[in-house]
Every structure is written in structure tokens, then in C-alpha cells.
Homo-oligomer: A and B are copies of this chain.
Amino acid sequence: MWELHGSACCYNRAIGRNQCRDSGPRWMKDQRQVTRALAGNPLIPKPLRDQIVEIAQTHGYVVNQSARSLRLRKTDTIGVIIPLGHETGQLISDPFFLEMIGRLADEITRRNYAVLLHKVVVTETGWLERIIQAHRADGLLLIGQSNQHDVLNAVAQTYKPLVVWGAQLPGQTYCAVGSDNVAGGRLAVAHLVQAGRRKIAFLGATHAPEAAQRFEGYRQGLAEAGLAFDPALVVAAHYTMDEAREAIADFIATGADFDAVFAFSDVIALAAIAALTEAGRSVPRDVAVVGFDDIVLARHSAPPLTTVRQDLEFAARKMVDRLFARMAGEPAESALSPVELIVRGSSV
């Protein structure tokens, strides 16, 4: 009864106006039934549903997502935006981002949504508005707020389904999920102090939101240990290994007096270890090193890297949860993802 029953593509028009172009599934008796059956609608009795699904399968029928999206005004797609500022290098080289993207993709896929990847140069004004209005995604995840705090605040007024990975900042109206960077910085410093270090350098950017928070944690940690903050021990390095390595090599060359390094990320911590080793300083004997992220390689470096671990599984789940809540029109607050100190050979 349910096989090749005539009628086609636009079942309705086909019958009514004889305008069928033969481009659609020819086996449908009633397209509504098919729609419902494939959607698992309980209005259709289970056995019939299964039968329809099976026939659809043998005919290789899959709903056309463009048409569905147009009709339903939803795309079943989440846009994941990777902002590129001038710091382009970071994303290419930092394993942290792959893991983040991978975990987000897992969470999104689990909900039967697709992932649309945007690499965006955020220096072009209107970048976010353009993405939003193209209606290619039902919601957006932004990995890192870069220096776009104001843009995000402005957009958040009218566009709700947006969640940002990054720091929570004063006066922030958009939803952000991020690690507890300040706590992470304090943990790292407290650990180094406890290991007997007194002259602890900070290696990394200090102005980007996340970096600023880790830097703040570093300063708080020093204060709590009764150590004075010394600006001479702050080494500016951005995100790439090459840059960080050069920066720390220059720092060593100045003859600076330091016995520990707290680095903004594992990647630049590993670069620091390379530079220190090259300069004949032993890690951890001469200089202890602590990183941030706990990338896979941290455990296998020589020496293994002590680091502040970010729980990306938790973070990705949180971000996607928040996003779907917002897509459903529910409120969703910003959230902090916990961090944890992982002590390995580079610091003790």
C-alpha cells in the first residue's frame, strides 16, 4: 500500500495543477505523513512510522535542509566563531583550541545540530551583525572575546542566542562562560611559593581579558604570599611559540634574576622551557615553570609540565547548555568553569 503510489515532489501542486517536475520522491502517498514519520511524531502509529521510515531509506530520501530551514525559520545549525585579530597565529598553533572546538562540536552534534565554522577577522566592523543576519545559524558560540567587548555588549541588547567563551568583565551584558582565571593565577603562584620560589616572572599578554585575569591572579598570589610585585618580572609575549621563545630568551639575556615562570598558556610555557634549556638553565632546578590549559602534550614534555587545568568538557557542556536555554527564550547567566592545579616535574 505504501509503495510508489504516484504523485511526486510538490504533492499538492502535482495533483492540483499538474505541474510536477518529477524532481521529488515519487513514492509518497501523503507527504505530511512522511514529514511526521521522519520527525518521529507520535500522531502516526509506530508500525506505520517505521514502515515509512524504511521506505524513505530505500529510496534514499532525506529532507532538504534549505527548504526545511526556510519554512521553519530555523536551521538546526550552531555557528562557532573563531575570532582572528592581529594575533592570527594563536589559533593555528594552539592545541587548546582544537580541543575546545572538538568538544563543542561533540556537544552540538549530540543535540542533532550541525556546526558552522566561521573564522572571522574582527577588525572589520559589522562582522558579528553580518553573521547574525545571514540566518545561517540558530545560535552562535564565540571562542574568545578578543578585544570586542563593546561590540558584544551592543549586539547582546537585541540578539540573545549568543554565548561567549571568555572572561566575565564589569558591565557585561552578554553571556560568557570561562575558566576562573584569577583563581588559576593564584593557584599557580601559591604553588611556586610553597616550592620555595620567590622571584616569579609572568610570561604572557596582560591586556586581553583572559590574560588580564590570569595576570591579576598572579598579582593577588604574590600579595597573599607577602611578595612584592616587580614589573621587571613581567615578560610580554603573545600567543605563538616563536614569539614567546624569543621573548623569554631576550629576558634571560638581560640577566634578569628569577627562579620561576608562570606562563599564560601551556604552549608558551613549553616555549619557555625550550628557551631556558637552550640558555643552559635547568628546569625545574634553576627555574620552575607553570603553564595554563593542560593540553595533552603537557604531560609528555621534558620535564612534564605543571599547569592549571581547564575542564573543557565541563566548559563546552556549559556553553552549549546556556546557548540552548537562550535559544528557547530562557534566561541564562554567565558561568565560571573551575580550574585545578596539576603538579608535574617542571615545578618541583
Copies in the complex: 2
Shortest distance between the CB of A330 and any CB in chain B (Å): 25
Residue A256 lies at the interface, judged by CB distance under 8 Å to chain B: no
A77-112 to B contact mask, C-beta < 8 Å, 1/0: 100100000000001111101110111011001000
Q: How far is the CA of A56 from the CA of B172 in the complex (A)?
A: 30
**A95 cross-chain contacts in B, Cβ below 8 A:** 93, 95, 98
Considering the chains assembled together, what is the distance between the CA atoms of A241 and B300 in angstroms?
8
CB pair A109–B98 under 8 Å, yes or no, is: no
A98 touches B105 (CB 8 A): no
- Interchain CB contact under 8 A, A117 and B116: yes
CB of A305, distance to nearest CB on chain B (Å): 11
Contact B296 A93 (CB under 8 A): yes
Given contacts A114-B116, A277-B302, A301-B301, contact A135 B66 (CB under 8 A): yes
When A109-B119, A300-B271 are in contact, do A70 and B64 touch as well, CB less than 8 Å?
yes
Minimum CB–CB distance from A205 to chain B (whole Å) comes to: 18
Main secondary structure, interface of A, reads helix
Q: Is A162 an interface residue (CB 8 A)?
A: no
A135 to B98, CA, bound (A): 27
Indicate if A17 sits at the interface (CB-CB under 8 A): no
Q: How large is the interface on A (under 10, 10 to 19, 20 to 34, 35 or more residues)?
A: 35 or more
- Interface presence of A63 (CB below 8 A): yes
Q: Name A201-247 residues within 8 Å CB distance of B.
A: 241, 245
Q: Which of A63, A105, A300 has the most CB of B within 10 A?
A: A300
B133–A62 touching, CB < 8 Å: yes
Contacting pair B98 A117 (CB below 8 A): no
- Report the minimal beta-carbon distance from A280 to chain B, rounded to whole angstroms: 13
Q: Contact at A99–B105, with CB atoms within 8 Å?
A: no
> CB of A257 within 8 A of chain B?
no
Q: Shortest beta-carbon distance, A225 to chain B, in Å?
A: 30
Given contacts A241-B300, A270-B300, A300-B245, contact A119 B102 (CB under 8 A): yes
> Closest chain B residue to A97 by CB distance?
B98
- Give CA–CA (A125, B275) in the complex, Å: 50
Contact with B along A292-311 (1 / 0, CB 8 A): 00001101111010000000
CB-based contact A133/B69 at 8 Å: no
Chain B residue numbers with a CB within 8 Å of A109 are: 119
Over the window 124-148 of chain A, the binary record of Cβ atoms lying under 8 Å from chain B Cβ atoms (1 yes, 0 no) is: 0010011001111000000000000
Closest to A57 in B: B126
> Contacting A300 at CB < 8 Å: which of B64, B98, B117, B274?
B274
Residues of A within 8 A of B (CB): 57, 60-67, 69-70, 75, 77, 80, 91-95, 97-99, 101-103, 105-106, 109, 114-119, 126, 129-130, 133-136, 241, 245, 267, 270-271, 273-274, 277, 296-297, 299-302, 304
Sampled A-B contacts (17; CB under 8 Å): A57-B126, A64-B134, A66-B135, A70-B70, A80-B117, A91-B102, A92-B98, A93-B99, A98-B101, A109-B119, A114-B117, A115-B116, A241-B299, A273-B302, A301-B301, A301-B302, A302-B302
